Amino acid sequence: MAQAEGLRLYADPTWHSLLHYKPALLGGYVSLVDDPRFFSAPDGKFNPRHELAATLRAFFRPAGTNELEHPVCRFVARYTWLREKLTIDPAQLPVPECAKFNLVSYYLDVTHVTLVFPAAYMNGPASMFGHTLLVFDSREKNRLLAKSVSYAAKVNTSFGPLFAFAGMAGMYPGFYSIQPYYEKVEQYGDIGHRDVWEYNLDFSSNEVERMIGHAWELQNIWSRYFFFSENCAYNLYFLLEVARPELGLSDVHDWFVIPIDTVKAIDGRGLVTDVQYRPSQVTRIRHLAKQLDAPERALARRVARGQTNVADLAMTVPDPTNRAVVLELASEYIQYLYTEEKLAKARYSPMLMDTLRARSKLGALPVEANTIPPPPRPDHGHAPMRLSTGVGVREDDVFASLRGRIAYHALLDNDAGYEKGAEIQFLSTETRYDFERDYFRLQRLDVVHVESIAARDDFFAPGSWKFSAGAEQADRGEAGDRLVLQAQTGAGLAAESRGGALGYGWVEARGLAGPRLGDEDYAIGMGPAVGVMAMVGPRWKHLIEARATYYALGVEFWDIALTWGQDFSLTPNRSISMELSTVRRDAYEFQEAHVRVNLYF
């Protein structure tokens, strides 16, 4: 004990990483772990010094009937580190080592570690920002059989707004879990419709062993899960820091951390040695479908639904190469229908076997059908925060503008590394200074703005939806400018052209509320909106949208607008954008042009 005090091990960065200690707001330290079973001292959550002394005493606790309950085995990583620092003689301990952990470690035979990023999926509330996990790879090189470690909230709802509120308030417990990686690939790639990116990391075998020991002692230990900060992204840092404390990843603890930040931070430390792309089943199906014409795609769909016998394909698709692609597509779609519970198991097995047998007789697929080109890496996309400055003109009035947002991606932002047709913005604001009238005003505040424009095709029929809430200026000419609260939601459909243009249509419902709105303090209306989003080359993006809303409840008026937005990316984190719009609200009509420079960070 005296030696530990003399060495001030309670202040060592490794000890702080092992216990997840961070400086407290009012001084001292606090562990981000909330489960009392993680500590040996009654005040161990707040006192690294007391926790170190109590942990050392606990190692000498008499052995019980269950080895796994003894602190030497419960806190493997702590024990290993302290034994090395203090040259503890294991023979003097009632439990000299954790035999069961050593056996598990031996059979895992881990040699290196991989960071895995399943990409974002808008139609799953827990998947909007993606996810991160670690995979412990063995010498056998079969990654699918390796073990994965991840941190996630234990939730009891899939209702988006409730999930978001509870997650932001820290109302869910978060747990580290260890699972076979193939289960995660199935969950994220096939069932979750999410492409997976694998980043091989540069850690030595000894460092990886320390990670495994820490993952072992974190099993079934809970912490409060915070959607924007102490989440799956941030909590993985501690596993990496236990292996190499000087990384200091968790020291950069912004109040807003998303999974891709983890990837960028780790890559920024020079830890990534190689990157692999694992397309989801949905991506594979869509890629195969692009190799066929419309009648052949329809034929593959009919085979997958049992409406066409595979034996008849030789007559309808005489070319064996095309027939191989049709059968490959049909087999993938059969598996998709089964995982989505749209195909009963009694039909699934014989249909899949018949299709695979016919497919096996036709040889390899052509290179273009068998090779899915990786999209831009998600960690190479623009940063989530944005600051914009610009100038504009409305009628004869010139104004300057300042826009900012905390996160994450807007429809006009470049899609490289992001999901096409998806928008998630939190705390997005615009402030304007009017030179003619010489005053500042808050033009718009979006507390949250989410849109999912998901294209439908021959094989998938997702819905498109949107939701936003905040405040905006409701200008109505002589009625004056006024800042009102607003909320809107909408649902619709979208389709993508062969050239990549995304067209969509909504039915929107909007509500406004404010004491200066008019004869009433509120207005509620609905109406249609249509739009087209397209890229001209890899950097120049266009978005044209027209909408018409009739407010029938409260203050009655028409609100009709046509907007054309453009964004040209100079670099991943620099762009210039322009918006032209014409708006008519009853008898009040105005046109506006606006140019901005956008900085992402």
Ordered domains of the chain (ranges, CATH): 2-104 (no CATH), 109-278 (no CATH), 281-370 (no CATH), 381-600 (2.40.160.40)
Q: Rounded to whole angstroms, how far apart are CA atoms 231 and 167?
A: 9
pLDDT on residue 490: 96
pLDDT on residue 503: 98
For residues 450-485, b (16+ Cβ closer than 10 Å) or e, as one string? Answer: bbbbbbeebbbebebbbbbbbbbebebeebeebbbe
pLDDT-derived band at 183 (thresholds 50, 70, 90) equals confident
pLDDT on residue 155: 73
The length of the chain, given as a count of residues:
601
- 210-247 pLDDT tens trace: 999 999 999 899 999 887 788 888 899 999 999 999 99
- The amino acid present at 107, given as its one-letter code, is Y
Average pLDDT, the chain: 90
The residue with tokens 């009102």 is 484
Least confident of 85-89, 429-433, 550-554: 85-89
Higher per-residue confidence, 395 vs 56: 56
pLDDT on residue 182: 83
Percent of the chain with pLDDT over 90: 68
The answer to whether 415 and 455 have CB atoms below 8 angstroms apart is no
Q: Reply yes or no: is the peptide bond before residue 107 cis, omega within 30 of 0.
A: no
The answer to whether 573 and 548 have CB atoms below 8 angstroms apart is no
The radius of gyration computed from the CA coordinates of the chain, to the nearest angstrom, equals 28
Assigned token pair, 8: 């001030």
Higher per-residue confidence, 297 vs 194: 297
pLDDT-derived band at 158 (thresholds 50, 70, 90) equals low
pLDDT-derived band at 474 (thresholds 50, 70, 90) equals confident
- 28-43 pLDDT tens trace: 999 999 999 999 999 9
pLDDT on residue 188: 66
- 514-536 pLDDT tens trace: 987 878 899 999 999 999 999 99
Helix (H, G, I), strand (E, B) or coil at 569: strand
Q: Rounded to whole angstroms, how far apart are CA atoms 119 and 117?
A: 6
pLDDT on residue 66: 85
The answer to whether 388 and 402 have CB atoms below 8 angstroms apart is yes
Helix (H, G, I), strand (E, B) or coil at 201: strand
**Nearest Cα residue to 226 out of 176, 265, 171, 177:** 171
**What is the arithmetic mean of pLDDT over 489-494?**
96
Strand partners, 196: 118, 278
CB atoms within 10 A of CB 198: 18
Higher per-residue confidence, 45 vs 225: 45
pLDDT on residue 340: 87
Assigned token pair, 289: 């479908």
Residue 480, pLDDT > 70, answer no
Residue 319 CB-density burial (10 A; 0-12 exposed, 13-18 middle, 19+ buried) = exposed
**Nearest Cα residue to 178 out of 129, 105, 280:** 105
Least confident of 226-240, 299-313, 518-532, 552-566: 226-240
Residues 6+ apart with CB under 8 A from 1: 53, 56, 57
Give the CA count within 13 Å in the CB-facing half-sphere of 136: 28
User: Taking every pair of C-alpha atoms in the chain, what is the biggest distance, in angstroms?
Assistant: 90
Higher per-residue confidence, 325 vs 481: 325
Strand partners, 505: 493, 530
Helix (H, G, I), strand (E, B) or coil at 280: coil
**What is the arithmetic mean of pLDDT over 409-438?**
93
**Nearest Cα residue to 351 out of 336, 370, 366, 369:** 336
Task: Tell me the C-alpha to C-alpha distance, in Å, between residue 210 and each of 112, 136, 178.
Answer: 12, 12, 15
**Nearest Cα residue to 146 out of 200, 75, 69:** 200
pLDDT on residue 192: 58
- 323-381 pLDDT tens trace: 999 999 999 999 999 988 899 999 999 999 999 999 999 989 999 999 999 999 999 99
Higher per-residue confidence, 162 vs 293: 293
The H-or-E segment that residue 371 falls in is none
Residues 6+ apart with CB under 8 A from 200: 112, 114, 272, 273, 274, 275, 276
**What is the arithmetic mean of pLDDT over 303-321?**
92
Alpha-helix runs per DSSP H in 340-377 = 345-360, 367-370
Q: For the sheet containing 110-118, what is the strand order?
A: 222-225, 172-180, 147-153, 133-138, 110-118, 196-201, 272-278
The answer to whether 567 and 541 have CB atoms below 8 angstroms apart is yes
**Nearest Cα residue to 181 out of 265, 270, 119, 108:** 108
The residue with tokens 């014989």 is 350
- 96-128 pLDDT tens trace: 889 899 998 888 888 899 999 988 776 655 566
Give the CA count within 13 Å in the CB-facing half-sphere of 167: 24
The answer to whether 190 and 111 have CB atoms below 8 angstroms apart is no
Q: Show the CA angle centred on residue 288, arms to residues 286 and 291, nearest 5°.
A: 115
CB atoms within 10 A of CB 265: 21
**Nearest Cα residue to 4 out of 48, 67, 34:** 48
Q: Rounded to whole angstroms, how far apart are CA atoms 281 and 194?
A: 8
The answer to whether 128 and 193 have CB atoms below 8 angstroms apart is no
- The amino acid present at 595, given as its one-letter code, is V
pLDDT-derived band at 428 (thresholds 50, 70, 90) equals very high
pLDDT on residue 468: 95
The residue with tokens 């020079």 is 270
Residue 304, pLDDT > 80, answer yes
Alpha-helix runs per DSSP H in 87-222 = 99-108, 160-168, 181-185, 205-218
Strands (E), 170-215: 172-180, 196-201
Residue 82, pLDDT > 90, answer yes
Q: Supply the angle between the helices 345-360 and 320-339 in degrees, to the nearest 10.
A: 160
pLDDT on residue 92: 87
